[in-house]
Amino acid sequence: MDELIAYIRRNPGKLNTAPATAQNPHVGAAQAPERLDIVHIPYKGDSPASADFIAGRIQLLIGTPGTVLLT
């Protein structure tokens, strides 16, 4: 997590994430005190977000365990 936060600090506004950092306690907790500049891209579920992650349209995907295992 420390490496991810350091990367985001070095690249403000350049990291697209999905589905929602607020729904993930780890990134949400890390983002709140740090006020990291992450671009939130809303998706209607893990499947469309996973497709865009694989295609390289988003750089960070924190999904459910089932989705991550299938990706």
Which CATH number fits the domain that encloses residue 40?
3.40.190.10
DSSP reduced 3-state for 55 = helix
Q: Which domain holds residue 50?
A: 2-70
pLDDT score of 10: 92
Structure tokens at 30: 């890390």
Helix (H), strand (E), coil (C) string for the chain: CHHHHHHHHHCCCCCEEECCHHHCHHHHHHHHHHCCCCEECCCCCHHHHHHHHHHCCCCEECCCHHHHHHC
pLDDT digits (tens, 9 = 90+) for 5-45: 889 889 988 888 875 444 554 555 454 556 778 888 888 87
Residue 17: beta bridge partners?
Answer: 40, 60
Q: What integer pLDDT is reported at residue 70 of this predicted model?
A: 63
